[in-house]
Amino acid sequence: MRLFAIMRKEVAQLARDRLTFGMIVGIPIMQMILFGYAINTDVRHLHAAVADQARTQLSRQLVADIQATQVVDVTHYVQTGVQLQALLDSGNIAVGIVIPRDFEQRLQQRRKRDGRPAAQLLVDGSDPIVLGTARGLTGLQLQQDTDRHEPPLVPLFEVRNFYNPERRSAVFVVPGLIGVILTMTMAMFTAVAIVRERERGNLEMLINTPVSSLELMIGKVLPFVVIGLVQVTLILLVGMWLFDVPVTGRVTDVYLAALLFIAANLTLGLLISTLAQTQFQAMQMTFFFFLPSVLLSGFMFPFDGMPRAAQVFAELLPLTHFVRLIRGIMLRGAELGMMAGELYALAAFLLVTMGIAVLRFSKRLD
C-alpha cells in the first residue's frame, strides 16, 4: 500500500525532526502557561486608596467589605478627594474611594427617590478591563448601603456566577485554547511538511512515481491526526493539573469534536501547501489565517459584541465553531448532538478545503 509507505516515511522523519517534535509538545505547554497565568481578564488586587471623611463604624465596614472582594487592596488612607486624584494621576492607585462626611445620612436617603449616592468611586478608566472591574464594585456598594438598615447579616441579593463560579479565567480560556493551539500547529505542520518536500526537490521525484495525489496528501496528513490528538490530551491534562479545569461533558465528545476540527485544519494546511512555494511562505500564510481566527472566533472577545460583518466572517472560520463546541462540552456539559450545526459547519469547511487542495495539487509542474 502506497498510503502506508508514505505514512511510515513520515513517521520516521518526524521522529528525527527534533524541532517539530519540540513544537508538538512545546507549543501547547507554552500557550497554556501564557494564557492560563499571564493573560488574565479577571482583575484582582487593584491598588486603591480611601478618603474616609465620615469615620463612622458603617464607613469602616464598607471599606472592609470592599477589601473582602479581593478586587482591590487598600494601600493608602488619605483625607481629601484632591489627594486621591493626585495618587490616581501618579499611577500609584487604580481606584479611589471617597466616603463623604454625610455618608450615613446619604445611606438613609438612598431609600427615597431623590436620594444621592452614598459614596464616590474614582477609577483609572484608561484600561477598560480595570474600569469594568471597578464598576462591578458599585453594584456591591449599592446592595450593601441599602442593606445597612436591615440586620446586616443577610445581604439583599447575592451575585451568582454560572459555569465559572470562582470567576477564574483559566476555566474559560483552556477549552478555547485547545482550538487555538490546534489551529496554529496542525495547519502549519502539514503545510510545512509538504512545502519542505517541494523545496528539497523530493516532490519532483515523487511525482515521477505512480503515487496518486490523494495517496500522497492523505499519507502525509494522517500521522498529524495522531499528533493533534496527543496535543489535545496534553492540554486537557495540563489544564487539570495546573488550573483545575473540569471536563463537565463526555470526554469522548471532546475527542470527537477535536478530531473533526483537526481534520479541518489539516486540509487547510494541505491547501496552504499548494499555494506556498517556500516554508517561510507557508508559515506566513498560516499566521495570516491564525490571527483572525484567534481574534474573531469568540476565543478572546465575546462573539455577540462584534459588528455584524465580523460575525459573518467569523462563521467561516473553523475555530469559531470549535470554540462553541468545546466550551459547550467542557463547561456546560452539552452533548455533541445538541450542537449539530457547528459539526456541519466544520465538516463543510473540511470538504471544501480538501476539494480545492486536491484539485490544485497537480502531478505536473506547469
Partner 1 sequence: MPSPPDSEPVGTDAAVVTRGLTRRFGTLTAVDHVDLDIPRNAIYGFLGPNGSGKSTTIRMFCGLLTPSSGTATVLGLQMPDEAEALKHRIGYMTQRFSLYEDLTIRENLDFVARIYCLPAARRNARIGQLLTDYHLEDMAGQRAGTLSGGEKQRLSLAAATLHEPELLFLDEPTSAVDPQSRRDFWENLFRLVDAGTTILVSTHYMDEAERCHRLAILDHGAVRAEGTPQRLMADMAATVVEVQAQDYRQIRAALRALPEVLSVAQIGARLRVLLYREVAAPDDTVRTALAQAGVTAEVGIARPSLEDVFVTATQLPARAREVQP
Cβ atoms 232, 149 nearer than 8 A: no
User: CA 98, CA 81: separation in Å to the nearest integer?
Assistant: 7
In the region spanning residues 311 to 350, those forming contacts with partner 1, defined by CB under 8 A, are none
Residue from 69, 80, 92, 209 binding partner 1 (CB under 8 A): 209
Minimal distance in Å, beta carbon 206 to partner 1?
A: 8
Cα atoms in the 13 Å half-sphere on the side-chain side of 105: 4
**Interface pick for partner 1 out of 12, 214, 226, 338 (rule CB under 8 A):** 12
Closest CA to 46 of 127, 113, 134: 134
Own/partner pairs, 118-124, CB within 8 angstroms, 24+ separation: 118/145, 119/62, 119/145, 120/81, 121/95, 121/96, 121/97, 122/81, 122/84, 122/85, 122/88, 122/95, 122/96, 122/97, 122/98, 123/94, 123/95, 123/96, 124/88, 124/91, 124/93, 124/94, 124/95
CB of 213 to partner 1, least distance (A): 11
- The values of phi and psi at residue 120, to 5°, are -120, 145
Find the part of the chain contacting partner 1 (CB under 8 A) among 96-104, 138-146, 203-211, 297-305.
Answer: 203-211
Q: Is residue 159 close enough to count as binding partner 1 by CB under 8 A?
A: no
**Segment near partner 1 (CB under 8 A); pick from 7-15, 56-64, 173-181, 247-255:** 7-15
* SS3 category, 49: strand
Q: Which of 111, 200, 332, 360 binds partner 1 (CB under 8 A)?
A: 200
CB of 195 to partner 1, least distance (A): 15
| Lookup: cell for 242 | 495546573
Closer Cβ to partner 1, 9 or 60, answer by number = 9
Q: Measured from the CB of residue 209, what is the shortest distance to partner 1 in angstroms? A: 5
- Give the residue with the Cβ less far from partner 1, 68 or 365: 365
* Single residue of 74, 211, 242, 247 touching partner 1 by CB under 8 A: 211
Which parts of this chain interact with partner 1 (CB under 8 A)? Answer: 1-2, 4-6, 8-9, 12-13, 16-17, 200-202, 204-211, 363-366
